A = this chain, B = another copy of it.
């Protein structure tokens, strides 16, 4: 694209002559890659006008740069960044570096240090991506989303879309969540018990900040969602992992003296076990007896295939000790960054104050578009479509897995958008992942889900949210093939 006059800036109070400044700016931009070979510069007339200098000043700067091979001049077309710039940059002596601010010692690196997993940003380039948590263009009704987005952008909703809401939420979206979504989880909540967040990730972050007291300890499931453990690790709190079994978190093993326990009762992440009702009541009873809070991450309740989803912990929470986290990332799409917290009004008020300080509010356009998506029935249609597609893919997965003798680590799990598998003895899932990458297959090795990565060596997750039913059998075949090779 042509380089606009606006890309240039002269400082008249600087000591350097304007022509020298202009030349240096072009050289610096070329070195930094902001101006690329072949791009057209503004005409000398336009640039001179923008900078408020004589046209000859610009012309002379350009001529100098043509003679030094930064620019090329084409008679009537004007000036262009030369194709020979690569060679030019190598021969340019670098200016002596000034003394730099010591960021290494000024920065606390606890956030980057807390990061555990390597995310596969180029997952789309794989032919067999058993990758969790991304949107599938075959299942997302983006025509409906576009229609809802358009409705939001008329004059009528200008204030909701463009205004600074400070720390408030879009009342329409809150209302729809309270009346259309939460009752399906058995939850009754008023507007003062609901806070919109930038996805479940944001809700988890807020919850941890608010529950964090000096010396606080948190109990988490083991294995558990990597992002949650990263947040807790960065917070500096003591983390007490509690191993899960085929029914999820065992309440009797949740230690005393904690500030809160984090649980994924509907679909345990990553095993997908569902916590039965008796355990749910026991967990809440223990929470009440011991005085700890319960953070319930209900991230993909919609994906229940064996009947209707079980009521949330929050639905039977008479003491108000449950902090419920919901998300639209899986049922709508993750790029929307919309989720919510449901909790005691005092907790919500404090979370609202913190969210307001951190980022004000989720963008009005996203909130209002989602409100329309819910009220017009598109969310329901899409969740149903996903459920049917995932149920079918799951069946294909299970058949292929059985046919190839792969081993399910959670045979009793009935929901979610992924399966949790075990490798044969001695096979490291991370090693298997590396081999499979060379064969166009992406899996998610188990190490990242465990407090001690070594515990996860024998497990891996295969999601079916981003792979079509048609491609699943070949993907599973390749996994089985690689597995048998690695075993030898």
Are the CB atoms of A149 and B365 closer together than 8 Å?
A: yes
- A interface vs B, CB < 8 Å? 1, 4, 6-9, 11, 13, 25, 28-29, 32-34, 98-104, 106-109, 111-112, 114-115, 119, 121, 124, 133-135, 137, 140, 142, 145-146, 149-150, 153, 155, 158-168, 178-180, 183-186, 188, 190, 197-199, 201-202, 205, 210-213, 227, 230-231, 234, 259, 277, 288, 291, 293, 311, 315, 318-321, 329, 333-337, 344, 346-347, 349-350, 353-354, 356-366, 375, 380
Q: Tell which of B8, B103, B230, B336 touches A347, judged by Cβ atoms closer than 8 Å.
A: B103
For A32, A34, A162, A234, which residue has the most chain B Cβ atoms within 10 angstroms? A162
Cβ B108 vs Cβ A360 within 8 A? no
Please report the C-alpha to C-alpha distance between residue A335 and residue B166 in the assembled complex, in whole angstroms.
Answer: 9
The answer to whether B164 and A153 touch across the interface, beta carbons within 8 angstroms, is no
B163 to A334, Cβ gap below 8 A?
A: yes
Known: A353-B115, A360-B199. A11 touches B101 (CB 8 A): no
The docked-state distance in angstroms from the alpha carbon of A234 to that of B293 is 23
Q: How far is the CA of A186 from the CA of B107 in the complex (A)?
A: 26
* Bound complex: CA A23 to CA B32 (Å): 69
Q: Give the oligomeric copy count.
A: 2
| Given A100-B319, A337-B360; A137-B150 close (CB under 8 Å) | no
Jot down 25 A-B pairs with beta carbons below 8 A, ordered by A: A7-B179, A13-B277, A29-B183, A99-B288, A100-B319, A101-B320, A103-B320, A115-B356, A121-B166, A121-B168, A124-B159, A134-B163, A134-B164, A137-B155, A140-B162, A142-B155, A145-B153, A146-B150, A162-B335, A201-B357, A205-B357, A205-B358, A336-B365, A358-B358, A365-B366
